Amino acid sequence: MTAISSPLQALGSLALAKQRKRFSLYVMYGALLFIAYSASFLLRYDLPLDHRVLVLLFSTAPVVVFLNFLSLEIVGQLGSWWQYSGVPDIRDICLAAFGTAAVLVSAATWLFQLAGYSRAVLVIDAILNVCVVGGVKLGFRYLVETRRQVTASRSAVIVGAGVCGVALARDLRQAGDLGFRPMGFVDDDPQKHGQKIAGLRVLGPMDEMKSIIDQHGVSCVLIATSAISGKRLESAIATCKTSSVEFKILPSIADRMNRHLARDLRGIQLEDLLEREPVRTDLEAIRGALRNQVVMVTGAGGSIGSEIVRKLANLQAAKIVLFERSENDLFKLCLEMTSYFPHARVVPVIGDILDVAMLKTVFAEHRPSSIFHAAAYKHVPMMEDNCFQAVTNNVFGTYNVALLAQQYEVKQFVMISSDKAVNPTNVMGVTKRVAELVVRSLLHHRTRYISVRFGNVLGSNGSVVPIFQQQIQQGGPVTVTHPAAERYFMTIPEAVDLVLQASTMGFGGEVFILDMGRPVNIDRIARNLIRLSGLEPDRDIQVKYTGLRPGEKMYEELRLSGEGINTTSHPQIRVLHGDPVDFREVNVWIDELAAIVARRNVAELVGALRRIVPEYQPSERVLSACRIDKLDVAGGYAKARASLAADVSQGAISAAV
């Protein structure tokens, strides 16, 4: 009974508090309206007010105040938030005041049958209502914004004194938690120079930005105009860099308004799909380990890699080496870093983790103290059809980078793994499991080797959520493999936070996992996304079941039966300790796999992978390829493959160190 009564008492207390607040607000409005009405008598009649005028005041005040009160309620001003008052509120107050005055002036003859009552009082009262009620509300807003601006630590100038610039200035005044205090505008229109717009003075043109920054102690420049040319923008950014001040660019209103809801879902609603509270980590504790360090990120252009780069920029890493094979992805990431992290020192390197000579050059030149290895092939069905590429990239590539980390005395090596490495049923999963074993075998007193294992990442490239969003945008159908399929999910930021947190915990050889709660039903995610887009599943958008794809499981796992799981200092991070792995045995695996990849024999490859990872259960598609490999039609098939292997063997073997 007590458990039920406590929430009811809390709800009752909350309702009572709201009623008291609303009653206090009504009393305040009533007092302001009465003060305005009394002042109208003082202006209309000479002082001192005689007994006859006082009788007129107090006998008519209840009706006039009540009607003004009712008009404010009709226009929605009694329940409005004072700290957001503006021109629309003054317009509503004028409408209410003069509307009431018009009614009262028309009805004064029969409503106030009092000798000596002047209709001018009602007109004056309307004017004073606007001044008193509107003035108090605007004054309250001014006090709130002034108090917020006092706490803002960074002074800023806004480039562009137009619509976007004025809107940004007002937003910054109201959003004191952003930490920006607008000092003025910079605009090339000479007619605006020296003028005040939205309470801020236009300090001068962009050509004088350097002197404006120095004179006013500006710490940030906010570019809020789409009319600026590319050359002028480049000049402004160069000035900011020369003056060592931060700069940010505000997207145009059209760019923000024309985007489809599904495209903006990642920043708005993705955490709601987790059906649990997102994991929070203390990045300040991580900052001490990575600040002023040289950090290398492989696969820097991917979803996880790029987020690691952003976090490292915020953590003030001295230099971030962006190692990426995709030229386009690396180019986009560099543009983003230039725009949003101008002070971060990033070094873009186009390279392949299979190119050992290139890797040695990068290690020798930059001498990273930490490596976050995010480069991998991860698409399950695609890797079923490209198993040799999966082994080459995920196993040989990891071996190359990890071994060179030891050779060049890197302090820590963190590999991004996957829940699909647990009891794998696909090539992608088994290659990630082999990569985990490779990393575990490299226990070295100068380099800490750890792996971080997590489930599917919401919003990453190729994950279900972007696919569902695109299908919804196209009108459906939304394709789900199976209505009962479940996966562990996390957001990109918390996945990267886990990686960074784990990098400060490991001593070497561990596998860290996130306590992700209960797995999430894929079908439910699809239906929730449809509803979040304002549509109804199976009515507006069809949900179609396609069946599990090759190599996919119905349910995912996070640890093997033989892995011991222990708690860490973080309540939602666990650490797995498995059996040690002999590095000499790993070298035997690498040599065997390299020879098999050179021969391009699927059956041999599957056999080798099952010897290394006994729990691996190949999919039917891979087993079919194995059966084909075992066929020898008059020796022609085997001879053709042997000839092909001879052509590519040299390149395949050199893929490993």
Q: Is 14 a member of any domain?
A: no
Inform me whether the pLDDT recorded for 280 exceeds 80: no
Over residues 225-251, the mean pLDDT reads: 69
Whether 561 and 618 map to the same domain: the answer is no
Q: In Å, how far from its chain's centre is CA 139?
A: 36
Class of residue 539 by CB neighbours under 10 A (exposed 0-12, middle 13-18, buried 19+): exposed
pLDDT for 435 equals 93
Q: Is 27 a member of any domain?
A: yes
Q: Is 310 a member of any domain?
A: yes
- 51-72 pLDDT, tens digit per residue, is 777 877 787 888 888 888 888 8
Question: Quick one: CA dihedral 107, 113, 116, 121, positive or negative?
Answer: negative
Q: Is 174 a member of any domain?
A: yes
- 327-380 pLDDT, tens digit per residue, is 999 999 999 998 888 888 999 999 999 999 999 999 999 999 999 999 999 888
Whether 626 and 515 map to the same domain: the answer is no
Inform me whether the pLDDT recorded for 243 exceeds 50: yes
Inform me whether the pLDDT recorded for 6 exceeds 50: no
pLDDT for 539 equals 79
Task: Determine which of 56-60, 400-404, 420-424, 647-651 has the lowest per-residue pLDDT on average.
Answer: 647-651
- 577-634 pLDDT, tens digit per residue, is 777 888 899 999 999 999 999 999 888 899 999 999 998 888 888 777 777 665 443 3
Output b/e per residue, 161-177; b: 16+ Cβ within 10 A.
bbebbbebbbebbeebe
Whether 460 and 552 map to the same domain: the answer is yes
Whether 108 and 171 map to the same domain: the answer is no
User: What is the band of 116 on the pLDDT scale with cuts at 50, 70, 90?
Assistant: low
User: What is the band of 404 on the pLDDT scale with cuts at 50, 70, 90?
Assistant: very high
Inform me whether the pLDDT recorded for 563 exceeds 80: no
Over residues 391-417, the mean pLDDT reads: 93
Inform me whether the pLDDT recorded for 221 exceeds 70: yes
The domain total for the chain is 4
Whether 273 and 373 map to the same domain: the answer is yes
Q: Is 476 a member of any domain?
A: yes
Identify the helix (H) or strand (E) that includes residue 585: helix 583-599
In this prediction the pTM is 0.55
Q: Is 620 a member of any domain?
A: yes
User: What is the band of 11 on the pLDDT scale with cuts at 50, 70, 90?
Assistant: very low
Inform me whether the pLDDT recorded for 568 exceeds 90: no
Whether 99 and 127 map to the same domain: the answer is yes
Encoding tokens for residue 270? 């993705």
Over residues 26-46, the mean pLDDT reads: 81
Are 146 and 179 in contact, with CB atoms under 8 Å apart? no
Whether 182 and 270 map to the same domain: the answer is no
Choose the final residue of a domain: 577, 607, 630.
577
Whether 373 and 511 map to the same domain: the answer is yes
Identify the helix (H) or strand (E) that includes residue 551: none
User: What is the band of 15 on the pLDDT scale with cuts at 50, 70, 90?
Assistant: low
Over residues 548-561, the mean pLDDT reads: 56
Closest by CA to 308, choosing from 326, 292, 325, 290, is 290
Q: Is 71 a member of any domain?
A: yes
Q: How many whole angstroms separate alpha carbon 182 and alpha carbon 172?
A: 7
- For 434, the domain range is 265-277+291-577
In whole numbers, what is the pLDDT of the chain averaged over residues? 76
